[in-house]
Amino acid sequence: MTDRKRDYYEMLGVAKDATADQIKSAYRKLAMKYHPDRNPDNPEAKEKFTEISEAYEVLSNPEKRQRYDQFGHEGVNFGPGGFNFGRDFSHFQDVDLNDILSSFFGGGGFSSFFGGGMGGGRQRADPSAPQRGDDMTFRLDVDFDEAIFGSERTIDLTLPAQCDECHGTGAAPGSRRTTCATCHGSGVVIAGGGIFQIRQTCPRCGGEGSVIDKPCRSCRGTGHVTKPQHISLKIPQGIDSGSRLRLAGKGGGGVRGGEPGDLYVLINVKASDIFERDGLDLGVEVPVSPIAAALGGTVDIPTPDGMAQLKLPAGTPNGKVFRLRGKGVRSFRGEVGDLDARIVFEVPSNLDKRQKETLEEFQRLSNPSTFPAAQTFANKTRIFYSHKEKLQKSR
């Protein structure tokens, strides 16, 4: 992104609250001065002309001007990669506003005054036709237990909605749409002189072919405004990361009687302190005393259904995994996963005098068959060194 771009108002030498006529006349003056036809062989003038034309392209279109005022250059810079708002939306907490904004602004059929090239100019839409609201997507972080058990959430969002003042027409009371005088309703102008003629989106009407003589004050002629929305959402039991919930008709408001768009909630489940999750299956590491594992006994295993008792056979090795069937996540469709409990030995620590004495006593009573793996290891080591000795002697 070019961040060193100058302010559009500054480029045209107009105030931030300049009227459409003031902007237009400022642009005209500058365009006359810097027009490439009047400044042959002057690359600076050409660059300047491009700059002021770009500024005019944005400030002359009420919708683009509003975006520019709200978001700066990024708000009107429709690159192929979409948006990158380097802004602080942290007050929205778990809602990813980038997604919302990109779905709000993206896909709008924006065709640049300059990028259009040969045969450019966007398709003219009927400005009085009902317009369906935009589909919105946002990411919602959900706690692990919320996802396992299901919950209800309310989300505060700012969504585009029809402007009530003008009922989405964009026209102030008593004003109306008239055919654009610049393009005579075609939405396209022929620019450039000489051999090359370039069809471009009409900068006055933004390609719509008509203009409002007095734009609505509350929406600046765009027909929509942003409104805070309070949306309650049911999080289904067992939902997993990557799931998308669709709330029909809860997206951006339609304009001029158009249907509202849909709202998509992309779920991201946060990690748990206890469980690992893979779909509907769960895993849990259970610290167990090696003494309990040697003697056999029962250990408590946490499961979504409550504590389960697992019988440990005498001599259970470290790392042994026990599968508890049907003790994983239960989905809202009634499917249920398994839970794998992995035994992890915990070496006894913070021993008091009597515990130490007892363990020392146990150590004395141990024999090679008490720790067979240690015994086998000791034998292998002995063989290794006896080989080494033989080899050294024969050298």
CB of 238 to Zn ion, least distance (A): 44
Is 165 near Zn ion (CB under 5 A)?
yes
CB of 59 to Zn ion, least distance (A): 15
Is 329 near Zn ion (CB under 5 A)?
no
CB of 306 to Zn ion, least distance (A): 56
CB of 208 to Zn ion, least distance (A): 7
Residue 9, helix vs strand vs coil? helix
Contacts with Zn ion, 175-194, as mask; x by CB under 5 A = -----x-xx-----------
Round to whole Å and give the CA distance between 148 and 279.
11
- Contact between 27 and 9 (Cβ < 8 Å): no
Q: Which is nearer to Zn ion, 181 or 314 (CB)?
A: 181
Rg (CA), the chain: 35
Side-by-side strand order, sheet with 136-142: 136-142, 263-269, 244-247
Is 204 near Zn ion (CB under 5 A)?
yes
Beta bridge partners of 255: 131
Q: Which is nearer to Zn ion, 69 or 96 (CB)?
A: 69
Q: How many residues bind Zn ion (CB under 5 A)?
A: 11
CB of 168 to Zn ion, least distance (A): 7
Pairing of strands 263-269, 244-247: antiparallel
Q: Which is nearer to Zn ion, 169 or 331 (CB)?
A: 169
Q: Strand runs (DSSP E) across the chain, as ranges?
A: 136-142, 151-162, 177-179, 188-191, 198-201, 210-212, 224-235, 244-247, 263-269, 275-278, 281-288, 297-303, 306-312, 321-324, 339-345
Residue 176 neighbours by CB distance under 10 Å: 11
Contacts with Zn ion, 249-288, as mask; x by CB under 5 A = ----------------------------------------
Q: Which is nearer to Zn ion, 10 or 164 (CB)?
A: 164
Q: Which is nearer to Zn ion, 183 or 299 (CB)?
A: 183
Contacts with Zn ion, 21-60, as mask; x by CB under 5 A = ----------------------------------------
Burial of 69 (0-12, 13-18, 19+ CB in 10 A): middle
State the Cα angle at 134 between 178 and 140, rounded to 5°: 155
Residue 49 neighbours by CB distance under 10 Å: 20
Amino acid occupying residue 144: F
CB of 6 to Zn ion, least distance (A): 26
Helix H or strand E encompassing 391: helix 372-394
Got the DSSP string for 327-354?
Answer: -SPBPTTS-B--EEEEEEE----S--HH
The piece of 45-53, 56-64, 97-105, 198-206 that touches Zn ion (CB under 5 A) is 198-206
Is 76 near Zn ion (CB under 5 A)?
no
CB of 84 to Zn ion, least distance (A): 29
Q: Going by C-beta distance under 8 Å and a sequence separation of 6 or more, which residues neighbour residue 95? A: 138, 139, 140, 155, 156, 157
Is 166 near Zn ion (CB under 5 A)?
yes
CB of 79 to Zn ion, least distance (A): 25
Contacts with Zn ion, 206-225, as mask; x by CB under 5 A = ----------x--x------
CB of 14 to Zn ion, least distance (A): 21
Round to whole Å and give the CA distance between 135 and 372.
66
The interface with Zn ion within residues 134-163 (CB under 5 A) comprises 163
CB of 187 to Zn ion, least distance (A): 6
CB of 58 to Zn ion, least distance (A): 15
Q: Which is nearer to Zn ion, 28 or 323 (CB)?
A: 28
Round to whole Å and give the CA distance between 16 and 23.
10
Q: Which is nearer to Zn ion, 166 or 282 (CB)?
A: 166
Round to whole Å and give the CA distance between 82 and 159.
19
Q: Which is nearer to Zn ion, 76 or 202 (CB)?
A: 202
Q: Which is nearer to Zn ion, 142 or 216 (CB)?
A: 216
Q: Which is nearer to Zn ion, 165 or 281 (CB)?
A: 165
Residue 135 neighbours by CB distance under 10 Å: 16
Q: Which is nearer to Zn ion, 215 or 328 (CB)?
A: 215
Chain contacts with Zn ion (rule: CB under 5 A): 163, 165-166, 180, 182-183, 202, 204-205, 216, 219
